[in-house]
Amino acid sequence: MSEFSTDIAALVRTIVEPLVEDKEAVDVTVSVSAHGEELVEIRVAPDDCGKVIGRQGRVIKSIRVLARAAVCAEGRDVSVELIED
């Protein structure tokens, strides 16, 4: 994993952890697609999914905007998804 991928994972983790009750269950992984887009996957405890999504999806949308803003100066693309198990 590159330094940039680690940075974006740390950014997303820093945003998500204060939102949830079970901080130990927070798992943020980054993978790179075939066409170069970074995919950030967030996994949290089932009870905390609603807190990360927020009303009408506002919180997850904000996380996506912040992640895109963090990498746009380097010309990279990033996609953030909440994985519900």
Size (the chain), residues = 85
Q: Indicate whether 4 pLDDT > 80.
A: no
Q: Look up the pTM and report it.
A: 0.89
CB atoms within 10 A of CB 44: 25
Whole-angstrom distance, CA of residue 62 vs CA of residue 53: 10
Q: Are strands 38-43 and 78-83 parallel, antiparallel or unpaired?
A: parallel
Task: Spell out the domain ranges in the chain.
Answer: 3-83
pLDDT digits (tens, 9 = 90+) for 30-69: 999 888 889 999 999 999 999 999 999 999 999 999 999 9
Helix (H) or strand (E) holding 70: helix 58-72
**Topology adopted by domain 3-83:** GMP Synthetase; Chain A, domain 3 (3.30.300)
Cβ 45 vs Cβ 27: under 8 Å: no
More confident: 76 or 28: 28
